[in-house]
Every structure is written in C-alpha cells, then in structure tokens.
Structure 1
Amino acid sequence: MSEPAAQSAAAPSPFPAIADYAFLSNCHTGALVAPDGSVDWLCVPRFDSPSVFAALLDRQAGSFRLAPFGAIVPNSRTYEPGTNTLVTTWNTRGGWVVVRDALTMGPRTGEDRVTPYTRPPADDGADHMLVRTVQCIEGQVEIELYCEPVFEYGRTSAAWTLSGDDGRSADAVAGDQKIRLQSSIRLGIEGDSVRGRHTLSTGEEMYCSLSWADGLVSPVTIDDANARMTATTRFWRTWIGRARIPDHRWRSLIMRSALVIKGLTYLPTGATVAALTTSLPETPGGERNWDYRYSWMRDSTFTLQALHWLNLDWEANEFMEFVADLKPNDDGALQIMYGIDGRRDLTESTRDDLSGYAGARPVRIGNGAFDQRQNDVFGAVLGSILLHTRRSQRLPRRLWPIVQSQAECAARVWHEPDQGIWEARGAPQHYVSSKLMSWVALDRAARLAEIRGAPDLTKKWQAIANEIRADILDRGLTEKGVLRQHYDTDALDASTLLAGIVGFLPANDERLRNSVLAIADNLSEQGFVLRYRTEETDDGLSGKEGTFLICSFWLVSALTIIGEVQRARDLMERLLRIASPLGLYAEEFDVDTGRHLGNFPQAFTHLALIEAASRIVYSERLEEFT
C-alpha cells in the first residue's frame, strides 16, 4: 500500500493562506486579520497570553468579523502609510466602504496596570483595545459585526451580557477574564456570540471596539474612536520618522520590516518576540509546529544590528536592558530563550482539541527547546554587547558581569556537542555554527575586556578564541574546503553562512567563497535556501520543510561579502517579490506553491532582510565613489 501524498501548502482549505493575514500591534500584543475582515488571532493582554480569538488554529476557536454583509473578498488592503493600521476597501453592489483596524496607542495618562512596565515608560503606550471604524464613501452598504471570543485557546466560551441602556455595549466573561465590546450600533446576543447589522449611506461612519483596558475603558462615540485612530497614526509615524531609512528602491520594504520588528517588541520589558503566533506549520499538515511567542538570545545580535543601522538606539538600549535583567541557569549560562517577562520556564504542552492550521498538529503552547544546550547563545549575547558598546561609546557597569559569565561558560563548553542553532531534537552533534558562535563569544569578550581595561582577560579569552578557530578549520571543513554542518558529516548547513557575516573568515578567503557558493548551488530549491536537507540531518522529526527565508537573506549578505554583488542583488530582488501582499514574511517559503509557511510575521526574517539590504545599499553607495 503506497503512502499518502504529502499535503500541499496550496490545498483547498477553509484557512486563509498564511501570507494573506494582516498584522496589527500595540507593542504589547498583536492580532492577525484575514482578508474577509475576521480577526483570527488575538491574545490579551500580552503576546504570550492565552488566545481570545484563535480561528487561525481551529475554525471553531473564536473570531471577530466586521465587513459588508455577504461579502468576503475586499477590493484592496493596505497599511496606512508609515503605520501598523490596516485599511481595507470594500466594493459591494450597493456602494463602497473603507474599514480601518488598529490596536490603538496614545499618550500615557498614568500607570499601566494591565501590563506593568519594568522599563522606564515611554510617552506613549497601548490603549489595550482593538478599534475598528467603517466609513461609507459612496452608495449604501449593509455592515455586519460578528464577535465570538473563545477563551483559553478555544476551550472556554464567553458568557455575554448587554451593558448600558442603549444596547451598544456588551461584556464577555470567562473565569476571571473580561472584555467589552462597544459600538455605535445596537448589538444583540446570540448564544456565545454578539452580532450587529447596520446600513451606512454616503458620508456616514460607525465603529466598534474590543477593550481589555483597566476598567474596560472604551471609545463611546465615533469621534472618540477616530481620535484614537489618529493618535495611533501619530505614534507610528513619529516613531518611524526617527529611523534612518535609506532613500533607495527598497525603502518601502525596509520600512515595513522596521515596523514589524517594533510591532513584535514588548514595550514593558524591551523583549522582542520571535513571531506573533504559535504552531503555524513548517510542513503542510505536519508536526513541525512551534510556539514562537518568546524572546530568543540567538536573535539578539541581528536585532541590535538592525536597530542600530536604522538609528533606533533607544529600542536597542531597551533590548540590552532586558538581557541584563535575565537570570542565568545554575552554571551561569543564559538560556537560549526566555519569556517576554524574563521567565525561564517555558514548558511545552499540546492542545489536542484544536484541529491545527489546515490540519497541522500538534498545536503547541510553550517551547520544549528552552532548556536545550545551544552553544551559540554565548556568541549571540556577547556579540550584541560589543555592538552596543561600540555604538553607545560605553560599557554599562551592569553588563560587565554578563560578559565575564558568558565568556567563561563558552570557554568551558565550546568543545562539547549541542543541539545547534536550529534546535534539532535529535542527538547532540559538534555543529560548526555552534563552534563559530563560540569563537564569536571569546573574540568579542576579548575586545570587551580591552575596552574594560582588563589585559589579562583579553589575553586569556583571545587565546581560547584562537583555539576554537583552529579546531573549526581543522575539523569543520570538507576535503573541498567547504564548511560542514557538523564534524561527523559532509552535509551542508546554511548556518555556516555566519562565517562571513560574523567575520570568522575574511571576505577574500577561498574557504569562505567555497562555502557560500556550495550553499548557493547545492542547498537551495529554485534559488531559495534550505536550512539543511532533512534526509541528511537527524533533527528528530519527520517530513520535509520549506526553504528558510532567513537563510536566503543570509545568502544575500554572504554573496555581497565575497564580492558576488550582482548575484546578491538578483536573489534580493527575488526575495522581495515574494513578500506577502502587505510586505510581511513568515519563516519559510514553499517554492512549489509560492506559499509562506511557519509562524508569522517572523522577526528573524525581517531582521535578516534589513541586514542584507544594508550590505547591498552600502556596496552601491561605495560604487558611486569609484
């Protein structure tokens, strides 16, 4: 009996394509809005809180739709320029309407009791509400509001009660959680949901809001709702106005990537979540489904590079303060990931009652890799600290103990096998990328010791860095002078592209050139790069995965470094063309179907886009003077 065919990412499904979702954020949590106007993912009050709407993972797990009655395909969707506010235009037989959706932000008026800050609060903060407005710009259009929250990842239905005398407000309660739906139209309770219908004529407006704010504060008029929208626009445009976005043909996508990274930042602590979602599949219908709503140390160097290159030094400083607050393990090492509040225990469980996105199961809450040994973590942290120190022209006193502890940890364990940068769930190996990042750890620590005025430590740590380097060059290269995945295989791994990006090998080194071109030619599908070939790698999982977008952007950077600038440009242009209709990226790309796979939007992908773009922009600027 033959095995069933693998599921296609383009198979007919009641689930919208991953890349068709719009991303909203208030820098405390985020939402995903489907093309039909349905909010299919929202966790409140934080990114890592249990969901209120989770139709993204099970079509019965809660959603919130505001759109013309009987219409499911909008005329257009875009972002208000320079913001994370979604603007959707609908054309029906009766007329035209414009819907605006935002997780609103505005001037702070007091202490945030919903998500308390550990960092100094900024002038603006989250309103802790989702605001949706509709304006009829021509004709007459009947609008339908449908809100059905299901709390705790689809486990607990809401108990609704109408509040107020006019029937325009309703409260949903589940356990100790309570949210308020407010609108300018009358609402009615139907079982576990609330509905409303209203016809708008030319020039008329309506709104609705969902609040989890302190006291369930909500806009009470359309003018109040519009004022919150205006304040949100002002917040995002003021923020992006501080960024250094090059006047370049890729400007709009660089700006969108910056807005995504900011949108995935948890303001109260300065942490950055890897992605908004959990369990969006890397393999259609498969088991490669992970919870990415946490902060990875692996991403830290790339986060700092992107933020500093964009001239967003405040955000970079906030992230470093988050790192400084983290509690290490008993051996002094930082974990590979933490909760956005700094918590260490991210124990993984599954929600077997959920169908999963297009049947991809299990749905995971938590991430079992949190206690894995990954020796690359030390290099990520120390690389970040050196980058930040050079930019700020000072080494903060509270960071020096971290430099010492992480350098000593790296020195102690660099020669041991680990799970690697990709968190393989197979047997530990001597991954070359882990050795590379261990070299980064001791090399950067030596430079920081020099800045600190500790020559003995500089000498000690540099000597260990040299030892690691020699070991990699002795055991980490194939007979053809190509960097291996790990010491016991000749298989390729895209993470070895870091050899050029972190400066392990100089740009003119033949071994770097061999490695980069081998990955470009032999570890790609239709030009897009795989992490590794699953049939050659014991990662403890079944099924094939898509090409990894971060690896493709790394290849752009690496090609630029070795002087293959035109080839880098060509790949960059291809990568930019596959952005979602709203300029967003998931983790992976299925070259056969043209569909995005994995959690969405993915911070690491957008960080790598900025890094790759910066290298090409810099090379083109240099060409102008030669």
Structure 2
Amino acid sequence: MECAPVFDYGREPAHWTYPDGGYRAARATGGGTDLLLTTDTNIGFEGSLATSRTLLKEGEWRYVALSWSEHAPPADVDEALERLTWTEHHWRHWLDRGDFPDHRWLPYLQRSALTLKGLTFAPTGAIAAAATTSLPETPGGGRNWDYRYSWIRDSALALWALYALGFDWEANDFFYFVAEAAEAAGGHLQIMYGVDGRSTLDEEVLPHLDGYEGAYPVRIGNGAYDQAQHDVWGAAVGAIYQYVRSRDRLDDRLWSIVVTQVEAALEHWRGPGRGPWEVRGEPQHFTTSKIACWLAADRGARLAVLRGDAKREDRWRRAAEEIREDVLAHAVDDRGVLCQHYATTGLDASLLLMPIVGFLSPDDPRCRATVLAIADELTQDDLVLRYLVEDTDDGLSGEEGTFTICSFALVSALAVIGEVDRATALCEKLLSSASSLHLYAEEIDPHSGRHLGNFPQAFTHLGLIQAVMNIVRAERRAARR
C-alpha cells in the first residue's frame, strides 16, 4: 500500500505522524486539512509517502481506509465490510423513494438520479455542475474550466427533473439554495455560486500542473462568475415556478423574489450579453438570452395569477409579448429559422429550449424549422454542437466536441414537435454512448465516442432525464390512441 497525498493543488506535500503512538494509524496534514489513514497492517513513512507491505494467503483479508470527516474509520475488516454493505443498501433504499417509469431505460434514469444526488452539497442543497476541474474539452487543448460550482442556469431543469422522478426533498433543498442566492443578490443574480454559497470565484491558472494527458492550462475558480448574462432571471423565476407548481402556494418571501427577478429581466432584456454559453468575446443580442427574459415575464405573469395581482399579471404578459415580437422581428432568417443572435445567421443549440419552455408552439413553422435546422446542420454524426466555433466570437481558440446536453435537448425538442421516431433513435444512440457506469462527461467526440470535459456532468444527466421522460410520455400517448 502506498499513500502520497498532496495539498493545495500539489503545492504542499503531506506531513505524516502517528496520532496514537502505534503503527496502524497515520495522520497526514497540510493545507489546513487532516487525512486519517487506518489499516490492519503496519504503516511506515518515506518522506511524504506512507507505505505498508504484507503477505496475503488464500482466504485472508486486509483493509485500509482513508478518511477526512467527523465519522470514525472502521476498526477492523468486519466493520469495513459491514459499512460497504450498509452503503449499498442505503443507496438502493434511496432509489426506492423515487417515482420511476417502468421502462427499458430505467437504469439510465436511476444512474442519473444517483449522480445528481452525489453532486449535491448536503449543507446547502446546491448541486455542483461537475466534480472536476480542467478536464479538457479538446484533448491537449486550452478549453479547460473549473465546474465545481453551482449554476443558477441549471436550476429550473434540475427542479423539473427531480420533481419528475419523485425526489421532492432534494428538489426543495436545491430550490432553497437558489432562493437564498436570489434573495441576497436582489436584481444582480450571478450565473454561478460556490456550493457553499460564496459569490467570489476568482479564476487562477496553476502553472506547475499539467491536466489530463497534458492539457493546459489547469484552472481553479471560474472567471465567468461575474459575467452579465440575461438568462439568470428566467432561470430563477422558472425555478420558483417549478417549486410553486409542486405545492400550489406562493408566500410573501418568494413573491418578493419573483417581483425582483422579473423586473430585473424587463430592465435589461434590450441590452446585449454574453449568452448562455458564457462566451468571452464581444457581448451580443443573444436570442436565447432574450427568450430567458421572456420566460421570466411569462412565468412571472402565471405566478401573479396565483398571487391575485392582476396589475402585474397584465403588465408582465404584455412585456413577454413585446420580447417575443422583438425576437421574431430580429432573430429569424429568410428560412424562418431562429439564429444565435441578432447580428448573425448562425445556429445555436440553446435554441432547442424554445419549444420545451413554450416560447413558440410546437406547431409553429418557425419552431419546427429551427429544431430541424439544428438537427441537420449543427450536428456531427447526429450529435449536436453548441455552435460552429468558426462562426462564433467566443474569445477562445481550438475545437470542441459535441455537447451532450444539447444532444439530449434535441431529443426532447424532436419529441415535443412530434418527431418521436427520430427522437427515439437519437436517444438510443446517446444512451449507447454512456460509460460502463452509465455516466456522462460534458461532451462526446462524435468520431471516437470518447467523453470530453468535466465529469460527471450534472447538466448532461439533467438533459438525459428530460429526454427520456419526454420519450416515455410520447410512447404512452401513442399507446392510448
């Protein structure tokens, strides 16, 4: 056994001591963190390395545990095995609480639910976007970001997915995290926060580290946290709308947050922003950002009905219609396809949300044309790109793989507009691309099937849940005919 932890991202080696005078427990300290190594063999130290060596005969067991929490480590082999068994039973019991459809794709839904639970920070309920930083979107490339934060953008979809699967407790915990952030920020909601609620996420390059297979740079923090993005208000109001739908009650605190977020969206929707993909190029009038502001006004008006505020309902509905008319006047090309922003005819996969959130009816020719244009023109081997990097000023260089959340969004959009067979075929292909544990990174190389980017990716698994549930519902509708 060899254990050589390093702290502070490799900048501080471990210092080992024996905490109880014996040789079967060792403590490593560094970077303000303590790790406890326990085993039923004797531990020795070689600088920052802890080692142990033993001879095992057939039928014999040994154990080793590395712990860093308030829970005491196992005392012997029997307790270690008992804890493993208890852990397995615990997660099976947790899954039994869910409301899963009896469907051939059940294992993918269960694994996605487990992934979201595993990415949840229990003290706050926040769901991290991924568990890693700087796994490359292009092998050896520079599109390497820190995703160990919680994006407000993901909140409405996360609540929809968790409520749809019957995990109300987890959904409510995440909702409270979003509501507290929105309440504290007023109309200046950030696009992401630390899972502990902190708002400052300064980005830093670690020059002494190479990433996976030599990818560089390795980053901690995320400089996009203070970008001006117009989708946050729609995400916050959409999250409250999902929460209220689950209980049909809107208290004074939540109503105050709704009013603040809707008014912020109406104040800013006419201006340019960085778009849903946090581009680092010049701000533009991104179509999806306008739709997000429409979402804030539309869902706000619906909540105003529940609140009995006819005056705000009327004003917000008229504002939502004004935003819709502006988008349809400036973002639709000659083919009737909605484009990435007002100054381009390029496509953007984020517009697949349009039929899902109801910005246009699924029967609207512009809705169908946009979904089918993305399916036919913004794909590689049927998998969806966010946008064409050569047509988009994202402030970066290099290529990127297909975004798996976008491919799952295409499944949902195709199902919503009635292209169920095509949606089902694409979903089958995407599910076949899962890892051996049914996990997904952020992107998939369409040629090799290799997963790229941070892993596992919450947003991808949220998209999977939505896509599979849309297929399930479409199949049930067809069976009733």
Query: What is the TM-score of this pair, normalised by structure 1?
Result: 0.75
Partner of residue 167 from structure 1, selected from 18, 23, 28: 23
CA contact (8 A) 2:273 2:286 kept: yes
Give the C-alpha shift of residue 401 in structure 1. Answer: 1.4
Q: 1:331 to 1:237 in 2, by over 3 A?
A: closer
Cα distance, 1:550 vs. partner?
0.3
CA distance in 2, matches of 1:445, 1:423: 25
In 2, distance between residues paired with 1:254 and 1:300?
18
What is the SS of the residue equivalent to 2:246? helix
> CA contact under 8 A between 1:324 and 1:398: conserved in structure 2?
no
Q: How does 1:405-444 map to 2 (within 5 A)?
A: 405-444=260-299
Find the aligned partners of 1:503 and 1:175 in 2 and give their Cα distance: 49
Paired AA for residue 7 in structure 2: F
Q: Greater strand percent: which structure?
A: 1
Q: Distance in 2 between matches of 1:199 and 1:540?
A: 57
Instruction: Verify: 1:612 aligned to 2:450, yes or no.
Output: no
Aligned-partner residue type, residue 427 of structure 1: E
Q: State the partner residue of 1:182.
A: 38
> Contact 2:7/2:31 (CA < 8 Å) preserved in 1?
no
Aligned counterparts, 1:233-252, within 5 A: 233-252=88-107
The code of the aligned residue for 1:487 comes to Y
Deviation at 1:330, TM superposition (A): 6.7
Matches for 1:572-587 after TM superposition, within 5 Å: 572-587=427-442
Q: Which residue of 2 aligns with 1:142?
A: none
2:201 is equivalent to residue 343 of structure 1: no
Q: Distance in 2 between matches of 1:566 and 1:218?
A: 52
TM-fit CA distance, 1:175: 4.7
Counterpart CA distance in 2 for 1:553 and 1:361 is 29
Secondary structure (helix, strand or coil) at the match of 2:52 reads strand
1:222 equivalent in structure 2 = 77
Of 403-412 and 240-249, the range deviating more from structure 2: 240-249
**What is the rounded CA distance, in whole Å, between the counterparts of 1:175 and 1:331 in structure 2?**
35
How big is the shift at 1:197? Answer: 2.7
Letter of the 1:464 counterpart:
A
CA displacement at 1:332 relative to structure 2: 2.0
Shift of 1:202: 3.7
- Asked if the contact 2:130–2:455 (Cα under 8 Å) also holds between the matched residues in 1, the reply is yes
Q: Is the 8 A contact 1:329 1:335 kept in 2?
A: no
Matches of 1:567 and 1:543, distance apart in 2: 31
Indicate the residue corresponding to 1:157 in structure 2: 13
Instruction: Return the alpha-carbon distance in structure 2 between the equivalents of residues 349 and 472 of structure 1.
Output: 37
Which one is further off, 325-334 or 185-194?
Answer: 325-334
Task: Indicate the residue corresponding to 1:563 in structure 2.
Answer: 418
Equivalent runs, 1:95-110 vs 2, <5 Å: none
CA contact 1:280–1:290 (8 Å) conserved in 2: yes
| One of 318, 328, 342 as aligned partner of 1:473 | 328
Q: Per-residue CA shift, 1:322-342, capped at 9, x if unaligned?
A: 112116687622111111111
- Pick from 378, 392, 403: which aligns with 2:233? 378
The CA RMSD over aligned residues, in Å, is: 1.4
**Pairing partner for 2:87 from 225, 229, 232:** 232
Higher mean C-alpha displacement, 194-203 vs 361-370? 194-203
- Report if the CA contact (8 A) 1:264-1:273 is conserved: yes
2:164 equivalent in structure 1: 309
Whether 1:295 and 2:150 are equivalent positions in the alignment is yes
Shift of 1:165: 5.1
Deviation string 1:348-404 (CA, Å, 9 cap, x unpaired) is 111111012212111111110001011011111111111110112212432111101
Paired amino acid for 1:430:
H
Letter in 2 for 1:407: V
> Does the CA-based 8 Å contact 1:380-1:441 persist in structure 2?
yes
Answer yes or no: is the 8 Å Cα contact 2:379–2:385 preserved in 1: yes
Opposite residue 283 of structure 1, the aligned amino acid is T
Specify the alignment match of 2:351 in structure 1.
496
* SS of aligned partner of 2:456: coil
Matching residue's letter, 2:433: I
Q: TM-score, normalised by structure 2?
A: 0.97
3-state SS of paired residue (1:198): coil
Distance 2:164 2:186 in 1: 34
| Cα distance in 1, alignment partners of residues 35 and 425 from structure 2 | 49
- What is the SS of the residue equivalent to 1:422? coil
Q: Secondary structure at the match of 1:206?
A: coil
- 2:46 counterpart letter in structure 1: E
Q: Give ranges in structure 1 of 5+ residues lacking alignment.
A: 1-144
1:536-555 paired onto structure 2 within 5 Å: 536-555=391-410
Give the equivalent residue in structure 1 for 2:447.
592
Contact 1:333 1:405 in 2 (8 A): no
> Structure 2 CA distance, aligned partners of 1:316 and 1:573?
27
Query: The residue matched to 1:170 in structure 2 has which SS?
Result: strand
CA distance in 2, matches of 1:395, 1:230: 42
Note if 1:520 corresponds to 2:375: yes
1:393 aligns with 2:264: no
Counterpart among 114, 125, 147 of residue 270 in structure 1? 125
Distance 1:616 1:368, change over 3 A: same
1:171 counterpart letter in structure 2:
R
Q: Determine if contact 2:265/2:296 at 8 Å carries over to the other structure.
A: yes
Counterpart among 169, 175, 191 of residue 47 in structure 2: 191
Question: How far apart, CA to CA, are the structure 1 residues paired with 2:59 and 2:253?
Answer: 57
- Between the aligned partners of 2:316 and 2:104, the Cα distance in structure 1 is 43
Separation (CA, whole Å) in 2 of partners of 1:603 and 1:213 = 24
The reply on whether 1:505 has 2:341 as its aligned counterpart is no
User: C-alpha separation between the residues in 2 aligned to 1:342 and 1:399?
Assistant: 18
For 1:329 and 1:259, locate their aligned partners in 2 and report how far apart those are by CA, in whole Å.
30
Q: Which runs of 5+ in 2 are unaligned?
A: none
Distance across 2 between alignment mates of 1:205 and 1:330: 54
- Tell whether the 8 Å contact from 2:182 to 2:257 is kept in structure 1 after alignment: no
Which of 258, 276, 280 aligns to 2:135? It is 280
Give the deviation of 1:166 after TM superposition: 4.5
Asked if residue 458 in structure 1 is aligned to residue 318 in structure 2, the reply is no
Distance 2:31 2:98 in 1: 43
